[in-house]
Structure 1
Amino acid sequence: MSREDELKYTTEHEWIEAADSVATVGITSYAAGKLGDVVYVDLPAVGTVVEAGRVIGEIESTKSVGELYAPVSGTITEVNDAVVDSPELVNSDPLGEGWLVKVEYVELPSLLELAEYTAFTAES
């Protein structure tokens, strides 16, 4: 099983790894590839309360600027400062060192499995 099989996904091209009421969030390899070279990442501050489906930041690449959406409602408990300092981590390791934020949540919304996300991206 690959790491991708262990994650959940959104239609906004984010991945979620949920454990012990904390969701680690990043953008998918698909999204990182579509963005091109990431040059800037703006993330919310620790302690920020976020609502699922709402914009929480942005990612700027050499091609475009994309918005980041909260896949879960909760409170930001950690921000990946390494990505802020070295945005290229989003491209080089989007499912690992390129994670973006951690959110403490009460309830997980309905999320996509890998097969569903793969089918969704094939339709795009």
Structure 2
Amino acid sequence: MAVFSITFVSCGNDDDEPNSAFVGTWHTERVDGSLEPFTEGITYTQLRSDGTYVEVDVDEEDDNAYEVTNGTWSVSDNKLTMTATTDIISGIPVTFEIKKVEGDKITLSFLGTTVYLVRVSDSVIEKYL
């Protein structure tokens, strides 16, 4: 499972409405920082309006084999929290600080690592589900 499990949130407001800006499918465009380099595969995360998410990690080096992870997500106090329900880290929340939300791009921070997400069409992830 990619540590990126995105997850998204709004900046500076705890209303329910800002979460809708994060609903959709996101591609992990780049990961920079001190954790293990993000050099192989593709990660798509779909944040759903019901508070659940599905993440697909595609291994381009293994004939596009892929792994699907399901879980829940929420945004509060400028933080995105994702909790997998079908992975080896099932039940352990992963919390990202929301650094920037700008149109179809989100920048998150996790343990000294910066995660850059870009919105893509829902059809991109649906072919794996």
User: Is the shorter-chain TM-score for this pair beyond 0.5, marking a shared fold?
Assistant: no
Greater strand share, structure number: 2
Q: TM-score, normalised by structure 1?
A: 0.28
Greater helix share, structure number: 1
Q: TM-score, normalised by structure 2?
A: 0.27
